[in-house]
Structure 1
Amino acid sequence: MAAAGLSLLWGTVVHRPYVYAFFACFLAFAGHQLGLRRTLTFAVSTWLIAFGCEFSSTRNGFPFGPYRYFDETRTRELWIANVPFWDSLSFVFLSYFSFALAAALRSPPDALARGEWPGLRRPSTPLVGGLVMMLLDVVIDPVALQGEKWFLGRVYEYPYRGFYFGVTAANFAGWFFVGAASQWAFQLALRVLPWCAGPWRRVSPRFVWAVYAVYAGVFAFNLVVTLAIEDHALAAASGAVIAATLATLAWRFRARSSLA
């Protein structure tokens, strides 16, 4: 049984290498910024929330709205109940990089210049982080819904066509919810779990730009796929969202660095 589970887990890595490449970025970046114990806490708590939300939504529609997964790959990669493991795992790195950008926005410029990120603990940060993560989904889900046209494969469907290239408004709301909830859960863990206590490593002021680059990389990956499947209308819309989001973040970070 254990050997079969390991085989399916390895199958997930083989079939979804792009997911694990971004997850490796999460381990490197979060490990450097948060330390090993806080990184593992963030990963486990976020995965549990994401999996619980997907498990719930495929049964009662909360929080992503109703949808269902196609399980053609169940014999080749790891599934838990009716949810593919890689899908819920993706929320870990998506939430972390969104959270880190939001924390940088919510930290005073002089603190960032010293390598400190007090925004990681501010109660309002997950609201910003949830929004930053939802903006990723505006680009990700419309092309994921067309997975049969590229190497993702046919993964899921809604019972009705959503307003935005087939994606429903509830799905976008669900992404905001998972982002904010997972980041609030981590902030709670920082306060109550003894292994999350202790000193924080100071990071270079340039660290925020490295986080920004990975976040932009997620956008770029999905835009390249959209162009590859020749959905020009979606590519134009996604390009506009990406340009507006990245330009706004870059402008804010440049303005803050000038104040430090």
Structure 2
Amino acid sequence: MLKTITTEVYNGKTKYKKYGLPLAVAVLVIFHAVGFWGLLFSGEPERFQNLTPMNLLLTNTLLFAFHRSWNGGFILFTLLAFAVGFFSEVIGIHTGLLFGDYTYGQALGTKVWEVPLLIGLNWVMLVYSTGHISNYTPWPWWAKAILGTLLMLLLDFFLEPVAMQFDFWSWHTGEIPLSNFIGWFAVAFILQLYFQKARFEKFNPLAPYVYLVQLTFFVSIYVLL
């Protein structure tokens, strides 16, 4: 009797598990589609700017719900990637080094040392998702790290003008400096190298979708600005 019940429960979980990924992708697409409409066509973009932290938290929650190996290697990677990304921004804000002279607006939520805390989480998410995409190639680890870095730069290229338009951050000169992309490449490459060498299971089926949905979101707004 107990064996039969256990088998039925297991079969039920297996049956519905296959719907998890499509459902997560659908949620990502819907939330980003609503944000896209709200920022460009609602007539009240400020209301949707204020929802950016919730969108980022939702995206990260979905992404890491599909992560399989919550071991020490993964936790250490997450903490270090957060710290490196966040403190790189702190240095950038207060010195102009790494990225150039810029200031964060209010759209990304609570700040510490003038940098939104969500920025550290955003670095983790981007390194993690682009690192997963690069792992689909048969290339050596260092080449995968370069590909992951270039994917991050591609996203940043389209993100920067959108960020300036909707109060994520602003450049003091009003233009995006070359130093931003050089700094992004340097920090991202270090983190991508670490991702490739970190000891945890690197298979997350949602990771490529997170990157592609975000890239589509920012490219679409970039084209229409």
TM-score (norm. length: structure 1)? 0.59
Equivalent pair of 2:63/2:207 in contact (CA under 8 Å): no
SS at match of 1:123: helix
Q: What's the % identity of the aligned pairs?
A: 22
**What is the Cα deviation at residue 15 of structure 1?**
5.3
Q: Which residue of 1 aligns with 2:93?
A: 58
Q: Which residue of 1 aligns with 2:131?
A: 99
Q: Which residue of 2 aligns with 1:3?
A: none
Structure 2: distance between partners of 1:136 and 1:21 = 19
Alignment counterpart, residue 220 of structure 1, candidates 216, 220, 224: 216
SS at match of 2:136: helix
Equivalent pair of 1:26/1:96 in contact (CA under 8 Å): no
Q: Aligned-residue CA RMSD in angstroms? A: 2.7
Structure 2: distance between partners of 1:224 and 1:124 = 29
Structure 1: distance between partners of 2:207 and 2:170 = 31
Structure 1: distance between partners of 2:75 and 2:115 = 22
Aligned length: 175
SS at match of 1:161: coil
Q: Which residue of 2 aligns with 1:178?
A: 187
TM-score (norm. length: structure 2)? 0.67
Q: Does 1:43 align with 2:78?
A: yes
Distance change (3 Å), C-alpha of 1:145 and 1:73: closer
Q: Cα deviation per residue 1:78-131 (whole Å; 9 max; x = unaligned)? A: 221110111232111111111111122245xxxxxxxxxxx6xx2332222111
**What is the Cα deviation at residue 214 of structure 1?**
2.3
Q: Which residue of 2 aligns with 1:168?
A: 177
**What is the Cα deviation at residue 160 of structure 1?**
1.2
SS at match of 2:219: helix
Distance change (3 Å), C-alpha of 1:60 and 1:160: same
The amino acid that maps onto 2:92 is S
**What is the Cα deviation at residue 56 of structure 1?**
0.8
**Greater relative contact order, per chain length (Cα 8 Å cut-off, separation 6+):** 2
**What is the Cα deviation at residue 137 of structure 1?**
0.6
**What is the Cα deviation at residue 47 of structure 1?**
0.8
**What is the Cα deviation at residue 170 of structure 1?**
1.5
Q: Does 1:137 align with 2:156?
A: yes
**What is the Cα deviation at residue 21 of structure 1?**
2.2
**What is the Cα deviation at residue 64 of structure 1?**
1.3
SS at match of 2:97: coil
Structure 2: distance between partners of 1:187 and 1:216 = 20
The amino acid that maps onto 1:100 is H
Q: Which runs of 5+ in 2 are unaligned?
A: 1-49
Q: Which runs of 5+ in 1 are unaligned?
A: 1-12, 108-118, 148-153, 191-195, 232-260
**What is the Cα deviation at residue 173 of structure 1?**
1.9
